[in-house]
Structure 1
Amino acid sequence: MSADSVAAVKREILVRHLETWAPQALHRGRRAAYVHGYADDVPDLAEAALRVFTEQSDLVRGRELTMLAIGSEVGDVAARLGKLPPAPGLTVLTIGGGTQERIGVALKAAGALRVPMLGFLDASSASGPPSPATLAALATGKPAEILVVLPSGSSVPDFREALNTAGFPLVAAVELAVSDDPAEIVVYATTLGKSLESFKDVLWAVDEFAGVRYRDPGDPERHLIDISLEPHPGPLRRELLAHLGQAGSATVAELRTFALTETVYRASDATRVVHALLDAGSVTRRPEQGRLGGDVVISL
């Protein structure tokens, strides 16, 4: 049951994010590309992604949206995707031969470079994380976004560094936990701050599935967090206090950015926690009075 629940959470995160991403991408330009790697490992996810686009056919009409489904053996994936109704402006291509081996060539062949691009790579069953070349290929999107599922026990700091090097400056990660044991990790990276905020909203809006909770990879106490529109602030409180302990002080804007990019939480959650810390006397502010604006300095 736990494995099914984790799969359901991954599916909903992907579907909800695609429902947000597609209108934004096609609003930015007449062309956009969605790249679904390791498509043959979990064909249900590739089918769910295509359903988002076919059910929004009015959105695609007058635009060009290309979906690339890449994997090792994609015969079954191609058959399943071929059963879905076509949509004007939507092109679906299935490419075999391996995700990491074929992704760069596939993007060039499809003319999908330098257009709004979202890549989804469920590498939870792969032998390792996506290669630097794979990440760099997906970073050619203008703008570029990527969703990656890493196997349990993966090093988030190492993968964050690889994403930064590839051209993704903004990264967030969340562990899909069913127990105290290490679990699969969903990593999102983008070149746009607004896209990261949008993803965080999606993350906390998914339906709660039995036994699945979030864990912040940066929380040393590995606290489990129920999926909720108003998540428990405990881990964020600890991480903000630890950050202030290292930095000495930070503006509210800097703390909001820290929460957005370095934790599983949203910027708005940081504002809520800072208010609580001030009320408890755990931190001080400068100036002492007035609205808690972004330029207010917070200190231990």
Structure 2
Amino acid sequence: MSERVRRRDQHVVVERDVLVRYLDAWTATTLRSQRGGTYVECGGFAADAVRVFAEFADRLDGHHLELVVTGPAPVAVPAGLSVREMTEPFGFAGPVLAHVEDDWPVAESLARGKGHEVVVTGAEPGDDHRARLRTAGLRCVLAVDLVAEDGAAQTLVFATADSKHLATFKNELWAVDEFAGIRYRDPRDPERTLVDISLTPQLLPLRRVLSAELARRGSCSVAELQQHTLLETIYRPADAVAALTAAAAAGDISREPEKGRLTPRTVVACR
């Protein structure tokens, strides 16, 4: 396979890895609930979804778990998994996780409903994806640019009404293959800093964001900045603690109490 072909596929490798990881966590949660759930695949990852569901084959009986796909349904599926082709208008009962490949009318339609979540892949960088999905009713939105070695970028978007699910998705985002040839970029970062995929990522962009937020507030708790990190950046709440710890050690911020580990109750302020 040529280098040119590999580079075109870099985005897909990371998108698939993130989606599969989150789908695994979503399925485990869904099978613990009496409501069941529906996974809607509006792209090219139906076979990957079936492999995830097959890992739960011994738990599918007695649960309502449905796979809805565009186009022909997969042939080989585990017993206990319902499969059907998608039709309009969309009507799903219970929790829904949908994957859409850069089709915003469909994404916005699937976002409307209690317990609905949407992953959008292949989106063009620069659009205000967060506002669109928040308008559709999902207040917790992550948008992250996936930048390949040749500079080509696509945006991956995840939207949910549950901040805990957003935290789970971010954990999976930073756990994917760091050697896939993709770096992350926060679309809202004015410096457009590229960050390597890592469980312990570079935190300079986050330190800038937290410094600006702290300057706006004057002072606040670490917990408040962790929440800001979760909802407004590509980073995780734990990354906020690491960034603030480094800032305090450098003398950039003050803290109360002055000694000990930073905890959610610690109050920090600009110097």
What's the TM-score, normalizing by structure 2?
Answer: 0.90
Q: Secondary structure at the match of 1:171?
A: strand
**How is 1:69-88 mapped onto 2 (pairs within 5 angstroms)?**
69-70=69-70, 74=71, 77-78=72-73, 81-82=74-75, 84=76, 86-88=77-79
For residues 7 and 179 of structure 2, the distance between their equivalents in structure 1, rounded to whole angstroms, comes to 9
Please identify which structure carries the higher helix content.
1
Gaps of 5+ in 2: 1-5
1:58 — aligned with what? 58
**How is 1:220-239 mapped onto 2 (pairs within 5 angstroms)?**
220-239=190-209
- Tell me if 1:93 matches 2:63: no
Q: Secondary structure at the match of 2:244?
A: helix
8 A contact 2:7–2:149 mirrored in 1: no
- Tell me if 1:122 matches 2:122: no
For residues 136 and 247 of structure 1, the distance between their equivalents in structure 2, rounded to whole angstroms, comes to 36
Give the AA of the match of 1:170.
C
8 A contact 1:285–1:298 mirrored in 2: yes
Give the AA of the match of 2:56.
Q
- Tell me if 1:21 matches 2:12: no
8 A contact 2:159–2:166 mirrored in 1: yes
> What is the CA-CA distance between 1:56 and the residue it aligns to?
2.0
8 A contact 1:152–1:182 mirrored in 2: no
Q: Secondary structure at the match of 1:28?
A: coil
8 A contact 1:153–1:182 mirrored in 2: no
8 A contact 2:14–2:180 mirrored in 1: no
Give the length in aligned residue pairs.
Answer: 265
Give the AA of the match of 2:41.
H
Give the AA of the match of 1:263.
T
**How is 1:1-300 mapped onto 2 (pairs within 5 angstroms)?**
1-37=6-42, 39=43, 42=44, 45-70=45-70, 74=71, 77-78=72-73, 81-82=74-75, 84=76, 86-95=77-86, 102=88, 105=89, 107-108=90-91, 112-113=92-93, 115-123=94-102, 129-131=103-105, 134-141=107-114, 143-155=115-127, 158-179=128-149, 181=151, 183-289=153-259, 291-300=261-270
> What is the CA-CA distance between 1:134 and the residue it aligns to?
4.5
8 A contact 1:149–1:186 mirrored in 2: yes
Gaps of 5+ in 1: 97-101, 124-128
> What is the CA-CA distance between 1:174 and the residue it aligns to?
1.2
> What is the CA-CA distance between 1:222 and the residue it aligns to?
1.0
Q: Secondary structure at the match of 1:21?
A: helix
Give the AA of the match of 1:172.
L
